Amino acid sequence: MRVSQRVKKILDNYDSDSPGTKANIARMLATGRLAGTGKMVILPVDQGFEHGPARSFAPNPAGYDPAYHAQLAVDAGLNAYASVLGMIEAVADEYAAQIPLILKMNSSNSLSRAKEAPSQAITASVDDAVRLGCAAIGYTIYPGSDLAFDMIEDLRDLIAEAKAKGLAAVVWSYPRGGSLSKEGELAIDIGAYAAHIAALVGAHVIKVKLPSDFLEQPEAKKVYEKQGIDISTQAARVRHVMQAAFNGKRIVVFSGGAMKGADAVYQDAQDILDGGGNGQIIGRNTFQRPREQALEMLDKIIGIFLGKVRHGEVAKAAE
């Protein structure tokens, strides 16, 4: 594993961490076609828990096989593959040495009732991650949920254990629940707040959704307007989220979200790059497509992050 000067500079932002943890952060940054650039594209496949098998994999039935996703991540030249315990156990023996694995530690499901107090069950342990050769643990928090404090306390304990055992921590920070409006879940003030909370609790890599220009909190809206914070474009909003993540001193990757058109996916990648984000964590928009289409999409996304092509050229080629 060759660590570039760019990666070394990023690692300097984690100076309180052990050599083991920093080595695992470096593993993710030094793997795949984006190795050494400070950019990351990660494939997450935890949707079977969240949405059920048919909603997740029926559009591309090959995805029912856990090995399909790990091989897709390897063949596409991605930085890491993230999934839940059973999926990681099914592939770790073959793939742990080929690509960094992230063990998603908690999950929800669409059968539960939780509007004001959404939460997730802890479904794996840090020792599972060590046993399976993972580079990192992953965990979701729901800022805004009536159960958010419980989730954050559990996360803090898990991060402390992961760091003690030389692993990195990836935090999905998804605002929902409580008094948040549906529009507020993607509001820029809420999204930046969610990234900041993840950084404060000790995350090494933060996963958030791309925010809209909506402002949810009246008191925050006053500050945004008074200070003239630019939220006019998606790239500007990415830049603001990076500010909230310790002024860019924490790695932030942005979610691909639900299945959408290829042009929108490429625009997201371009805006993340232009806004100074570290990359994308993109699942359904790739694995729900046939394999060759998924590989083509990931190739173009990586091309954008490498600066080899801008979105306008990608869009034209996709027509």
How far, in Å, CA of 238 to CA of 253, rounded?
A: 10
- Burial class of residue 244 (count of CB atoms within 10 Å of its CB; 0-12, 13-18, 19+): buried
- Is the distance from CB of 28 to CB of 172 less than 8 angstroms? no
Q: Helix axis angle, 188-200 relative to 234-244, nearest 10°? A: 30
How far, in Å, CA of 214 to CA of 108, rounded?
A: 27
What's the per-residue H, E or C state across 235-298?
HHHHHHHHHHCCCCCCEEEEECCCCCCHHHHHHHHHHHHHCCCCEEECCHHHHCCCHHHHHHHH
Q: Which residues are marked as active site?
A: 174, 207
